Amino acid sequence: MQIRAMTAADLADVADIDATVESDHYLHINREGEGIAVRWIIEPRPLRQARVHRPRMNDDVVFTIRQIINQIEQGIAVVAEHDQQIMAFAAARPDLEAETMRLMDLRVDFDSRREGLGSALLFYIVQEARKLGLRAVTAHVASDNFPAVQLLAKLNFELAGLDTHFKSNHDLVKDSVSLFWYLPLG
């Protein structure tokens, strides 16, 4: 396997990565209290029925990746390749004001999971963030994307916050709360 910088020619192959997410668990978020006296309880729970969805690559992310590839914007876009076949992809961009590297997207082909590709790509991004002297790597994941939650936790990312209204006014009821993760690089 080789990790290399993504090129414009790779964009179609990256879009074809089967990024299907299968979750049989989720992080249940329970809010207790009112006003500013609120406490959040977060715990893994099994789903009654496995959730399967195939997230489409966001148009804003595709645009930003093109900007990174063409060196118009600063950032990282890398692929993991085996036998000239793209198996995984990751993109991140620095937030220089906050001194962090924000993970924009990470996709591992469904048939290539559990082989360490996601970990390898995240380690690459962490090393690049360190070279830039940034203080942390951040990621944003939905609470029902349990495989991504497990990956970030395994790599010592800390759960730094949540937003129960990030995608809609009903995220908490839908068990799809936005979670914000943080890996200090100190």
Domain parsing of the chain, residue ranges: 2-184
DSSP-assigned states of every residue in 36-71: TEEEEEEEEEEEEEEEEE-PPPPHHHHHHHHHHHTT
* Per-residue pLDDT at 143: 85
pLDDT, tens digit, for every residue of 11-22? 889 888 888 888
Cα–Cα distances (Å) from 150 to 29, 72, 153, in that order, read 16, 33, 5
Most distant CA pair in the chain: distance in Å? 56
User: Which has more pLDDT, 4 or 54?
Assistant: 4
pTM, 2 dp: 0.88
Q: What is the CATH number of domain 2-184?
A: 3.40.630.30
pLDDT, tens digit, for every residue of 66-122? 999 989 999 999 999 988 889 999 999 999 999 999 999 999 998 888 888 999 999
Kindly state the percentage of the chain with pLDDT values over 90: 55
Tokens representing residue 104 in the block: 């924009």
Mean pLDDT of the chain: 89
DSSP H helices in the chain: 11-15, 59-69, 117-131, 146-154
Residues 97, 68 contacting (CB under 8 angstroms): no
